[in-house]
Amino acid sequence: MTSPAVAFARQNYSSFLDDLKALLRIPSISTLPEHKDDCRRAAESLAVELKRIGMDNARLIDTECHPLVYADWLHATGKPTVLIYAHYDVQPPDPLDEWLSPPFEPTERDGNLYARGAVDDKGQLVAQLKALESLLATAGALPVNVRVLFEGEEEVGGEGIARFVASGPPELHSDFALVSDTELFAPGLPTLCVGLRGMIYTEIEVRGARADLHSGMYGGAAPNPFIALAQILARLKDEDGRILIPGFYDGIIPPSAEELAAWRSLPFDEEQYRINEVGSRQLVGEPGYSVLERTWARPTLDVHGMPGGFTGEGAKTVIPARATAKVSMRLVPGMTTAKAFDLYKDYVARIAPLGVEVAVRLIHSGEPCLISVDNPYVKAATAALREVWGRETVFIRSGGSIPIVGDFARYLGIPSVMMGFGLPDDNLHAPNEKFHLKNFALGIESIVLFLEEAGR
């Protein structure tokens, strides 16, 4: 027998999709100050929605940056309490001219919904909401106690939620968390994510001359901060992708033999991955590690951009006074953000070329996390996923970061079930981000059955 809530979700699918589109039209880009009001507007619309579907205590919780959205429903006496988490903020949409349809005008094409935030994370957030709505509309009650906590600054490090969670408020008393912000390993393959990399996001600033200088008059005598910056960056990583910061790898906890064996049996074709997902002539990285190990269980270092100097069309002969680089490192279990940042900062100071001043700043950070699968909630999740997808669940890690997940374990003492429905080619953070519509529909059904199973 199909659950009445699942039947409700199927009947109401097209209005559910309309509600997702309405949320996607709000450009809640957390990193851009000019979109601060849009972030609040998105948060307010979610509080209204939570109230409408029958949740109690729906409200915004202000932080120093964008508000959290909270609601609860605590009438399932004797049943466990789940903390449902997702984020309503999105990444900037640039480069705009590469989008086939505008990023904030959600557009359906070939079974997908295209928009910034479609999969990361509004589509998954709305799947959670619609699962709750379907349960409340059909049973007038939920099978477990539910607390909802939506965040609006995940994409900028999540400091507000981290402070809230660390303060251990009574609102967050729960037995486990449901986090919907990850992906399936392959289309149609139900997946739970059990590990995330941490990260430190930093900025290096190099200053040379007092002001911009004519490069003919001063070139040869004045230090060039971009050359100095390039020399610093070149010494952070070798050609094999090994990070050269002394002590950086100390203490890393490698995956167990069983976990590595499980990864080897995942349906993964390196050449397909190179061609279809990465699209480069060759893959790079540390020799001796598979691609999955390199992206899930090894730290890495990347440069995101180098603001400064002359970047317009044509030519300008200037020696810029300053150069900057946005540099981040992904961390794995056994590493901490504090230690990684100290080692990095000291090393950069040591290798700074003569004639320039170098400053290293931490923009945001999040600890790596590994999640236990030895609990009844994971069993409930795999049972629900088996029912909806007709297959056994695979357990994977992800190279991405969701800073708050580690804090749920650290400060609330609860495990997270990371059940997400993205696909590897959904273009997260990139032009033409999409959510596969079938995954939106089955995502709702999976969450409905998971909550029902958790309440059994």
Instruction: Give residues with Cβ within 8 angstroms of 172, minimum separation 6.
Output: 83, 147, 149, 164, 165, 412
Which of positions 388-427 make contact with ligand BES (CB under 6 A)? 398, 400-403
Alpha helices per DSSP H over 327-371: 337-351
Decide: 68 and 150 in contact? Cβ < 8 Å.
yes
Instruction: Tell me which stretch binds ligand BES (CB under 6 A): 56-64, 131-139, 181-189, 248-256.
Output: 181-189
Query: Residue 355: left (phi > 0), alpha (psi -120 to 50), or beta?
Result: left
- The reply on whether position 426 binds Mn ion by CB under 5 A is no
Nearest approach, Cβ of residue 185 and ligand BES (Å) = 10
Decide: 446 and 388 in contact? Cβ < 8 Å.
yes
Quote the distance between the C-alpha of residue 51 and its chain's center. Answer: 27
- The reply on whether position 153 binds ligand BES by CB under 6 A is no
Which of positions 116-155 make contact with Mn ion (CB under 5 A)? 120-121
Which of positions 156-215 make contact with Mn ion (CB under 5 A)? 181
The listed partner (ligand BES, Mn ion, none) that binds 124, CB under 5 to 8 Å by sort, is: none
Pairwise CA distance, residues 420 & 181, whole Å = 5
Which of positions 55-114 make contact with ligand BES (CB under 6 A)? none
- The reply on whether position 181 binds ligand BES by CB under 6 A is yes
Count of residues binding Mn ion (CB under 5 A)? 3
Helical (H) or strand (E) element with 357: strand 357-366
Figure out which of the listed residues 133, 153, 154, 293 binds ligand BES, where binding follows CB under 6 A.
154
CB atoms within 10 A of CB 123: 30
Closest chain position to ligand BES (CB) = 400
Nearest approach, Cβ of residue 121 and ligand BES (Å) = 6
Which positions from 220 to 249 touch ligand BES by CB under 6 A, shown as an x/- string?
Answer: ------------------------------
Nearest approach, Cβ of residue 141 and ligand BES (Å) = 31
Tokens for 443, please give them: 């995502």
Pairwise CA distance, residues 112 & 434, whole Å = 6
CB atoms within 10 A of CB 409: 17
Q: What one-letter code names the amino acid at 423?
A: L
Which residues sit at the interface with Mn ion, rule CB under 5 A? 120-121, 181
Which residues sit at the interface with ligand BES, rule CB under 6 A? 120-121, 154-155, 157, 181-183, 199, 364, 366, 398, 400-403, 428
